[in-house]
A = this chain, B = another copy of it.
Amino acid sequence: MKIGFIGLGIMGRPMAKNLIKAGHELIVNDHLKENIEDVVKAGAKAGSSIAEVAAESEVVITMLPNSPHVKEVVCGEGGVLSVARPGLIVIDMSSIAPLTSQEIAKACAKKGVEMLEAPVSGGEPKAIEGTLSIMCGGEEALFNECVSLLKCMGADVVYCGASGAGNTTKLANQVIVAVNIAAVSEAFMLAKRAGVDPNRVYEAIKGGLAGSTVLNAKGTMMLANNVKPGFKIDLHIKDLNNAIDTAHSTGAPMPLTATVMEMLQNLHKDGMGQCDHSAIAKFYEKLAGDTLY
């Protein structure tokens, strides 16, 4: 299939390469030339503009940082919809606000373009392996049409509901991840201050009810004083902002998310926005005047 791929960051590059490996013909674009060159080496064609990518593709996939970027690339001047013909499919795999995703889907529908939202979870390692969790929102018939394409990039590809439901599911995911990272930090620091080595705590609890992917993947980073991203604090702030906005408009209570948001904002102010989100542990280290490593 002829696929346009726009957005070749840490996640987009390996996802595009997995589509090439699966035999698809890719035309790609990114704001950084080196990102385009990297994927061209893997077999893609460079598109000189977003409009060129859209004009030459049956499906356009976008993988961008946040709501405004997707709106600009799809609906903006010289964007996908400026050249799109009816029947084109847009799959937005970015993590954006559910309401913005719904707006973009409506703008697409006016031009006869179908849009599926398909945000992902699992980070760079699972993007490389092609084993991402992919949470889809839009028409179920469109989901069924796209699922085999998405399975080139993901292991769990789940239909969550109408437009907005994929991004809402991603926000729920991000709430659990952020709060659980903070919970592990809080528990490790409790042990450390009480004189118990957090490495022993990790060994003793990982097989019980406290066990989680966060404990294994992020808890071990805390114990090694490793803040290399992975998934950046500034991106998690973006997601929790979207989660809290959604909660305010729907009446969902967010006491824990709001508290962890304060931790992330404090770390951002300290210049740690580009650190991995496991650096939430640094908030606890600062307050306790102690370290976990």
Binding site for B on A (CB under 8 A): 98, 121-123, 126, 132-133, 135, 155-156, 158-162, 164-165, 168-169, 171-173, 175-177, 179-180, 182-184, 186-197, 200-201, 203-215, 217, 243, 246-247, 250-257, 259-260, 284, 287-290
Contact = CB atoms under 8 A, between A and B. Distances in A.
Nearest to A244: B190
Contacts of A177: 209-210
A223 to B, nearest CB: 13
A164 B208 CA distance: 20
A197 to B, nearest CB: 7
B210 A194 contact: no
A290 to B, nearest CB: 8
A164 to B, nearest CB: 7
B289 A195 contact: no
Contact of A155 (B207, B210, B284): B207
A259 B257 contact: no
A252 B190 contact: yes
Q: List 9 A-B pairs, minimum CB-CB distance, nearest first.
A: A212-B212, A179-B183, A121-B208, A193-B250, A133-B208, A158-B204, A172-B187, A176-B210, A193-B252
Contacts of A172: 187-188, 190-191, 196, 201, 205, 210
A223 B290 CA distance: 40
Contacts of A161: 195-197, 200
B169 A176 contact: no
Contacts of A176: 180, 183-184, 187, 205, 210, 212, 215
A211 to B, nearest CB: 5
A196 B250 CA distance: 12
A177 B156 CA distance: 25
Given A121-B205, A169-B191, A173-B204, 17 more contacts: A121-B209, A133-B208, A155-B207, A156-B204, A156-B206, A164-B196, A165-B195, A165-B196, A168-B191, A169-B200, A175-B186, A176-B180, A176-B210, A177-B209, A189-B252, A192-B252, A194-B246
A180 B217 CA distance: 16
B182 A256 contact: yes
Contact of A210 (B192, B196, B213, B255): B213
Contacts of A246: 190, 194
Nearest to A159: B200
Given A133-B204, A194-B98, A205-B176, A253 B186 contact: yes
Contact of A259 (B209, B217, B252, B255): B255
Contacts of A247: 190, 193
Nearest to A217: B209
